[in-house]
Structure 1
Amino acid sequence: MEEPYSKDGFRKYPTLRDHPLKTAAQWLAGRTADDGYGHLWRVGDKLYNLSDFIKIHPGGRQWLEVTRGMDITEAFEYSHLNPHVRTVLAKYYVQPAVGSRNSPYTFEADGFYMTLKERVHQHLSTKVSREEKEAAHKRITTVQDRLLFTFFTLLVATAWTQSYMVAMLAGIVLMLIINCSHNFYHKKDNWRMFCWDLGLLSSYEWRITHALSHHGYTNTLWDFELSDFEPYVDFRVHSKSLTQRYVIPLVIFTVSYLFFFVEAFKRIVTIAIGQQRLRPENLLPLVQLFLIWWLGCPFVQAVKLWLVVHGTSSYLFAIVGIIAAHHHPDMYHAGDGAFQYGNDWGLGQLDAVRDRKDVDGILLAELTMYGNHVLHHLFPTLDHGVLDIIRPVFQQTCLDFKLPAELAQLPSRYTQWDLSLGVFQQLARTQPRLSVHSKSD
Structure 2
Amino acid sequence: MKKSILVSLGAIVLFVCSSFAYGPTGHEIVGGIADKLLANTPTAARINALIDGMTLEKAVVIPDEIKSWDKNGADDPSGFPHYSDHPKIDNQLRDFWRANQPTHDLNSAVPSHHWFHYTDVPVLNAAKYSDGKTGRSKWDIVHMINYCIAVLQGETLENNPRKITKPVAVILLAHYVGDIHQPLHVGAEYFDEAGHAVDPDKGKAGLGDEGGNTFALHLKARTPEEMTHRALKLHPFWDNEAVMANLPSLPFTMSKEERYEKTERAKRRLIDRFTREEPTNWRLPRNVALKNYAEVWADEILPIAREAHERLRFTNVHAQHEENRVVAAGVAREKSASDHVAYADWAAKIVREELHKAGWRLADLLKQALTSTITNATSAPIPPEVTPAEPNTQAETQPSHP
Give the alignment's TM-score, normalised by structure 1. Answer: 0.27
Q: Structure 1 or 2: larger strand share?
A: 2
Give the alignment's TM-score, normalised by structure 2. Answer: 0.29
